[in-house]
Amino acid sequence: MYYRIIQIGKEMSGTKRVYNLEEKNYFKFFGIDEKQDISVRSLTTHYKKIITLLKDKHEFLSKDKVQFAHRAFEALVDPISRARYILEINGEEWDMRDGADAEDFLFINNLNEQYNASNTIPEIETFILELKEQTDFIKEQIQYSLDVSRNYKMASGLLNRFYEISSIHDKTKVKKNELEVGITHVAFDR
């Protein structure tokens, strides 16, 4: 069943948007291209229009469709969830440990050593900024590997690194909070 919605407001293209509310693919459901680099603003607009359409026209179907629309929106609005979804629909594994190679383990080991060596608030704050820079770079590389090179294996490995860095970031924030309340951390040389 297809529903037509005429875009409200002045549009440069003047086209009508067609939503396939029976579609199970999140991208097709919203009528957008399957790519990592999507406009969150445009996605939000499509989401609101679909929700309005469902609430206005078909109340007996709307609960399931509204829930599906919400799940689809949540999956696509976050770039990491979107990357996982793209990998999933293209048959690529994105399990955090399965895609790791020796270089990944060395990279994460180096970050863990840096975490262990950061024992003052300024050191921790500097380390947190470095982790943020790493995750921003990884997000850019995931986008390139999915949208430009279509290298799903590379995107899977990058996603793996993102999750590892996120885990280190979480424990670094805890360590920072502990330092702020007076709990000290000491690194021992072996």
Are both 109 and 54 inside the same structural domain?
Answer: no
In this predicted model, what pLDDT tens digit does every residue of 138-176 receive, in sequence order?
Answer: 999 999 999 999 999 889 888 989 999 999 999 999 999
Are both 12 and 68 inside the same structural domain?
Answer: yes
Going by the DSSP 8-state scheme, the letter that residue 188 receives in this structure is: P
Average pLDDT over residues 109-136: 95
In this predicted model, what pLDDT tens digit does every residue of 40-94 receive, in sequence order?
Answer: 998 999 999 888 888 766 555 567 888 899 999 999 999 999 999 999 999 887 6
The reported pLDDT for the residue numbered 92 is 85
Are both 126 and 164 inside the same structural domain?
Answer: yes
Are both 113 and 164 inside the same structural domain?
Answer: yes
CATH number at 154 reads: 1.20.1280
Name the strand (E) or helix (H) holding 131.
helix 121-143
Q: What does pTM read for this prediction? A: 0.79
- Measure the CA–CA gap between 26 and 106, rounded to whole angstroms: 36
Are both 132 and 69 inside the same structural domain?
Answer: no
Are both 107 and 176 inside the same structural domain?
Answer: yes
Number of structural domains (the chain) is: 2
**Domain containing residue 47:** 2-77
CATH number at 70 reads: 1.10.287
Query: How would residue 10 be classed by pLDDT, with cut points 50, 70 and 90?
Result: very low
